[in-house]
């Protein structure tokens, strides 16, 4: 049995893992997929734990949104993608790092096993949203693709429980590559994987220079969503209309319109409408603060208030006008996560990720996230990906030794037997 403090190298791990085929997508580096002998389990977390994780994820999502949103700019993220990637990282966190990650992810009171089982169950539930067949009633039913992976330095030592948990609860295989020798081709391989699993909507998640020879792992999550509206807009009714960006700026944008029955609510300073998607229980809840009240509404929106607004909606006949839009956001989440309590996890030598490799050399270099969304008369397409980049503390700088003065030498065996012993006072004398 493996000693709990000594990780197997990747080569011994291969003996206990089922070796997969070479990546079928175009890649710039030779990568091989390996999987744990542990299959993904069908998790059954307690109802209270699952509910707590969903609420915690919502609180985390809104807090992170406020941390990364830049005034006046569009932003789109996938909270599920970010939370999943961080939860996979949490598998290897120990001690104070685990405590900080719990708090930052707004899950301070749950056992780790319950958290990972809950993420597994949430993923399974989302996958079930993609099971409705195409029909005359649902020509564009919801489709969700989710994927997780660990990109690992070939030959690096990883802890078996870490790999097994990734397999059992996240369905994550391990893609072996050589960051140390080929960081740039490895980056392109990761981007290819993400692009394929997001239908090309996230083609270049990691920018040049993101991966370095010090990188030992990258944890990735990718999500792609496409669905038609349950009540589609008539494109013939789309026309330019004013959109008031702020008190000083008005722009003309293509605006869809419809009169139909929707779940709708009004409250102090806001209105909300819920647009359902075909063949699923998914919906887009659009919340519109009163003019001049956006900043306050965004700042004060909590998970509890969001749930209250969603629960307050009831069926109304609504005359709805809504702009078409399409944009993407690419973000480093390091500053935002640092502000939320994870600053130490990004500081070399400070965190404890010994559950990953049995040492305390690993720190998080960055967490990169990109989101994409397009909304039109037919429905919504959205995609996102997250990469958690783990580096090791740099080795000491190369030493320089000029043997230009008298020295001693020994020739010895590993057990300490001295075969030869001597000194050199003048190498010119033979």
Q: What is the DSSP letter of 235?
A: G
DSSP string over 202-230 = SS--SPTTSS-TTEEEEEEEEEEEEEEBS
Nearest C-alpha neighbor of 86 from the set 105, 71, 100, 111: 105
β-bridge partners, 288: 271
Report the distance separating Cα 31 and Cα 25, nearest Å. 10
Residue 39 has a pLDDT of: 85
Q: What is the pTM of this model?
A: 0.85
Measured distance CA(243)–CA(190) in Å, rounded: 39
Mean pLDDT of 401-412: 74
Is pLDDT above 50 for 334?
yes
What is the signed CA dihedral for 100, 106, 112, 118, rounded to 10 degrees? -160
The reported pLDDT for the residue numbered 19 is 32
Nearest-5° Cα angle at 82, 80 to 86: 115
Checking if the pLDDT of 140 tops 70, the result is yes
Per-residue pLDDT tens over the stretch 369-379: 999 999 999 99
For 8-227+326-392, CATH number? Answer: 3.30.497.10
Cβ pair 206, 191 in contact under 8 A: yes
124 contacts 148 by C-beta, under 8 angstroms: no
Question: Which residues of the chain does CATH 3.30.497.10 include?
Answer: 8-227+326-392
**What percent of the chain clears pLDDT 70, i.e. is strictly above it?**
89
CATH 2.30.39.10 residue ranges of the chain are: 235-325
Domain 235-325 has CATH 3.40.50.720: no
């Amino acid at each position: 049995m493996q000693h709990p403090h000594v990780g197997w190298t990747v080569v011994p791990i291969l003996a206990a893992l089922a070796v997969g085929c070479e990546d079928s997508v175009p890649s710039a580096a030779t990568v091989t997929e390996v999987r744990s002998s542990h299959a993904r389990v069908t998790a059954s977390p307690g109802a209270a734990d699952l509910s707590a994780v969903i609420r915690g994820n919502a609180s985390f999502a809104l807090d992170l949104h406020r941390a990364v949103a830049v005034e006046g700019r569009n932003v789109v993220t996938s909270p599920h993608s970010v939370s999943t990637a961080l939860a996979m990282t949490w598998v290897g966190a120990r001690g104070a790092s685990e405590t900080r990650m719990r708090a930052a992810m707004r899950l301070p009171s749950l056992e780790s096993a319950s958290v990972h089982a809950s993420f597994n169950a949430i993923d399974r539930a989302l996958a079930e949203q993609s099971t409705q067949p195409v029909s005359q009633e649902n020509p564009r039913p919801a489709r969700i693709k989710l994927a997780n992976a660990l990109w690992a330095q070939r030959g690096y030592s990883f802890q078996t429980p870490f790999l097994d948990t990734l397999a059992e609860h996240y369905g994550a295989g391990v893609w072996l590559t050589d960051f140390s020798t080929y960081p740039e081709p490895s980056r392109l391989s990761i981007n290819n994987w993400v692009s394929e699993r997001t239908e090309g909507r996230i083609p270049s998640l990691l920018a040049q220079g993101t991966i370095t020879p010090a990188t030992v792992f990258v944890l990735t999550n990718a999500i792609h969503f496409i669905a038609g509206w349950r009540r589609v807009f008539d494109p013939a009714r789309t026309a330019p209309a004013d959109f008031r960006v702020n008190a000083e700026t008005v722009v003309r944008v293509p605006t869809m319109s419809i009169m139909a029955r929707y779940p709708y609510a009004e409250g102090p300073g806001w209105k909300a409408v819920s647009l359902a998607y075909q063949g699923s229980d998914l919906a887009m809840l659009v919340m519109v603060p009163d003019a001049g009240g956006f900043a306050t509404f965004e700042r004060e929106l909590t998970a509890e208030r969001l749930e209250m607004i969603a629960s307050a909606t009831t069926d109304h006949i609504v005359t709805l006008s809504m702009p078409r839009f399409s944009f993407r956001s690419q973000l480093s989440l390091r500053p935002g996560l640092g502000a939320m309590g994870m600053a130490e996890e990004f500081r070399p030598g400070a965190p404890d990720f010994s559950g990953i490799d049995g040492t305390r050399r690993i720190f998080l270099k960055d967490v990169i996230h990109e989101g994409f969304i397009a909304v039109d008369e037919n429905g919504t397409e959205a995609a996102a990906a997250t990469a958690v980049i783990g580096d090791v503390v740099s080795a000491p700088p190369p030493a320089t030794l000029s043997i230009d003065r008298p020295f001693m030498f020994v020739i010895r065996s590993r057990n300490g037997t001295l075969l030869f012993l001597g000194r050199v006072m003048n190498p010119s004398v033979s």
